[in-house]
Amino acid sequence: MSSYGYSGSVLKIDLSHQAVSTEETDPKMIDQYMGGAGFGAKYLNDENPDGIHWSDPENRMIIANGPFSGTPFRSSATICIVTKSPMTNTAVSSQANGYAGAWLKSCGYDAIVIKGCADEWSYLYVTEDKVEIRSAKHLLGKDGLDTQEILRQELGVDRSSKSVSVYCIGPAGENKVRFSMIIGDGTHTASKGGVGAVMGAKRLKAFVIRRGKIKPNIHDRPQLVAIAKELHIGATETFLDGSRHKWGTNGTFSGLHKVGALPVKNYTTNIFPTHEKMNGQYVRTEFKAIEKHPCFNCGINHIYDREVSVGEFKGFVAEEPEYEAFAAFGPQIGQTDAGAVFYLTDLADRLGIDLNEVGWLIGWVMECYEKGVLKADDLDGLDFTWGNVDTVKEIMIRISQRRGVGALLADGVKRAAEKIGGEAVNMAVYTMKGSTPRGHDHRARWHELVDTCMTNTSTLEATFVGVRPHLMDMPPVHDPFSPWEVPLVIAYQNGWAIIEDCLGACRFNMNYPKTVIRAYNALTNQNRSLQEILTIGKRIVNTLRLFNIRNGLTPDMEAPSVRYGSGPVDGPAQGRRILDHWDHIRKIYYLSMGWDTETGAPLPDTLKALDLQ
């Protein structure tokens, strides 16, 4: 009998030797690392040889679910993918929703640990009764949506059946574009840190999980159901006044513009006059809903196919983009047609590239083009004037193929800027690790800027959905631009967001931490407190920290680029320049996390307190 919430087995795949094995899920790992990102951190830290390149066959890629997976907890099919990032050469943890996490649990597995590189392109097929490494030669060159459809047809299912979860890479992943992503179950993506490039380096085109018959072992089902309902009401009615449920994630678009957090033309301004023609309220009022595509056991009105009703792309049907897609393909590149965002997002999904990174990349090139730093001859003759949709389409295709100037841009903003040199470097938005922010102007959100630079996961680690210390019995934020309060709050709160990535459910249904812990205790027959849960979160954060330091992380890498750390020239955060305080902020953060203020390494007392000595 497995522990409550866990299947009890981990699937081990060696692509180089075409070998499949299983091992028991270590009870101590369950107790100390919980699942998802925690299991990924543990396996990455324990099994990856230090210093290897991200494309080395020995680089592990861990696909893990969590204790909530497949249970009555809403949207409980999240998978977490952990590996060494092509963008930062340190750890990355990226999540995707859909059905994979629940179906992996139904087959009897808590995680899949993949190493090696196949001799020929392959895909992994997992069922309750067997695991196979199958040929994927016929899928080579297929885009992320067509690949899913082909595999479903081969397996005799269509998307509406939900009995098979398919995740794959597109052409960008095949060509090891550093910011390529993994896409599945429609347009759900594990998009951060270049996890798709790692799959490409392993010649793994896809992984497919067929629903099994194994049911999760639940301690108190009625209590779990009741708490899940309570959290769902919070998600659809209370949190953010239910706006995400009514308007989608893009319902925040105009609100972010109001506070100066909307990225506009590569951080050259904070003013986007047509924001009301691109927000969720406009899109959901004007564009016709065609079909809803909910995740496993999710009741949030979140994912629809919609038909564009106006403009050049009138009649185009695609899945409604998330907020970050509208930010990337709207204001960041100086583009004002909401219909074009549908078109460009669909293309990015098919090619398999992270739209956050490509938005920063194209916006940067457009500014360089406008200011004469780059000319048409440097850019394959393409016209990079602001908002040129045809050029954006063409350059994304060239990036995915590593063709022409696309080969330079396929390594991301930081590397491309450094190769060009000169003033181009000062215009680029990135962290010194090599990653880029999520789709906001963080100069108006210092908590997220600091978190992005200090993260151990290559994306936000502590501040998803903003900073919410009051929900964890901590003092509220008084000054969001304070160079001492900002790092303190992030350090104190750090541990919870990564717990959300351990539980195997969508964070959209986990808005109230103490209620989530009640659900976890009902599921697992434990009585863990908020502080005990945060300790597990900090153990995972520090495990990733140890891995990153052993793989070359130094304090100078935990800083923003010149443009990323600059002061806005207009808008509500005008003149707030975080770089003026950076050394102080970093020292306060290190000290508050229990890390050496000179090296950033966890102190012996910190490791001892977390049982990491």
Cβ neighbours of residue 600 closer than 8 Å, sequence gap 6 or more: 545, 549, 553, 554, 555, 558, 590
Contact 45, 543 (CB under 8 A): yes
- Which pair of structure tokens corresponds to residue 154? 């081969």
Is the CATH number of domain 442-609 2.40.30.10? Answer: no
- Helix (H, G, I), strand (E, B), or coil: what is residue 514? helix
Give the H/E segment covering residue 118: none
CB atoms within 10 A of CB 20: 15
Task: Write the CA distances from 198 to 51, 117, 124, 168, 179, integer angstroms.
Answer: 16, 10, 15, 12, 10
Domain 225-427 CATH (choose: 1.10.357.140, 1.10.569.10, 1.20.1070.10, 1.10.10.10): 1.10.569.10
- Model confidence over 292-339: pLDDT tens digits? 888 999 888 788 899 999 999 999 999 999 999 999 999 999 999 999
Judging by beta carbons within 10 Å of its beta carbon (0-12, 13-18, 19+), is residue 598 exposed, middle or buried?
Answer: exposed
* Rounded mean pLDDT, 466-470: 82
pTM: 0.97
Instruction: Report the mean per-residue pLDDT for the chain.
Output: 96
* Rounded mean pLDDT, 586-609: 98
- Helix (H, G, I), strand (E, B), or coil: what is residue 554? coil
Residues forming CATH 3.60.9.10 domain(s) in the chain: 9-210
Q: Where are the beta strands (DSSP E) in 72-135?
A: 79-84, 91-96, 111-115, 122-126, 131-135
- Which pair of structure tokens corresponds to residue 557? 């890498």
Render 20-53 in DSSP notation, one character per residue: EEEEEPPHHHHHHH-SHHHHHHHHHHHHSPTT--
Is the CATH number of domain 9-210 3.90.550.10? Answer: no
Pairwise CA distance, residues 185 & 494, whole Å: 31
The whole-number pLDDT of residue 2 equals 52
Residues forming CATH 1.10.569.10 domain(s) in the chain: 225-427
The whole-number pLDDT of residue 159 equals 74
pLDDT at 1 over 80: no
Contact 526, 317 (CB under 8 A): no
- Model confidence over 354-410: pLDDT tens digits? 999 999 999 999 999 999 999 999 999 999 999 999 999 999 999 999 999 999 999
Residues forming CATH 1.10.599.10 domain(s) in the chain: 442-609
